[in-house]
């Protein structure tokens, strides 16, 4: 129960693929310049998620799918020059970068997805 229960795919919630954020996170993680169009697409995608409680969950799902696509294991490079921990923090900061509101249940820094502080994501 609670506000996250609305974000559960088992209840019919459709997780957003966040393809623009996927591209932005990969580019930022390897230190590349992010084109304005990619940044704009990324920022629009979480803003389009009506339930702000689902935004961080969708970012986490996007990140897990990147790891799976690239065959990443704990502590490994995701891409050349990009470690998993850096990609995770980059993805978690998307709401802050994009000025998209998210709930802050942990009391940590506002705007950063709470799961950034936990291993295993």
Is 11 a member of any domain? no
The percentage of the chain sitting over the pLDDT mark of 70, rounded to a whole number, equals 83
pLDDT score of 59: 93
Number of domains in the chain: 1
pLDDT score of 75: 63
Residue 72 and residue 64: Cα distance in Å, rounded?
9
pLDDT score of 18: 94
Is 33 a member of any domain? yes
Is 73 a member of any domain? yes
Say yes or no to pLDDT of 1 above 70.
no
Residue 61 and residue 25: Cα distance in Å, rounded?
13
Distance of CA 67 to the CA centre of its chain: 12
- Paired tokens of 68: 């799976």
pLDDT score of 72: 78
pLDDT score of 105: 62
- Angle at the Cα of 118 from the Cα atoms of 58 and 42, rounded to 5 degrees: 30
User: CA of 33: how far to CAs of 10, 26, 98, in Å?
Assistant: 37, 11, 16
pLDDT score of 110: 62
Is 2 a member of any domain? no
Average pLDDT over residues 100-110: 70
Which structural domain range is residue 73 located in?
16-117
Is 84 a member of any domain? yes
pLDDT score of 117: 67
The CATH number given to whatever domain includes residue 64 is 1.10.110.10
pLDDT, tens digit (0-9, with 9 covering 90-100), for 45-98: 999 998 888 999 999 999 989 888 888 766 677 888 888 888 999 999 999 999
In the structure, what pLDDT confidence band is assigned to residue 120 with cuts at 50, 70 and 90? low
């Amino acid at each position: 129960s609670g506000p996250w229960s609305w974000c559960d795919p088992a209840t019919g919630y459709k997780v957003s693929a966040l393809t623009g954020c996927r591209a932005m996170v990969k580019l930022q993680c390897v230190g590349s310049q992010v084109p304005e169009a990619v940044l704009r697409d990324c920022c629009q995608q979480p803003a389009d998620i009506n339930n702000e409680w689902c935004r961080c969950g969708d970012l986490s799902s996007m990140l897990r799918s990147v790891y799976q696509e690239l065959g990443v294991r704990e502590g490994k490079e995701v891409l050349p020059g990009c470690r998993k921990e850096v990609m995770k923090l980059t993805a978690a900061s998307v709401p802050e970068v994009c000025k998209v509101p998210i709930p802050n249940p942990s009391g940590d820094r506002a705007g950063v997805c709470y799961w950034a502080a936990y291993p295993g994501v």
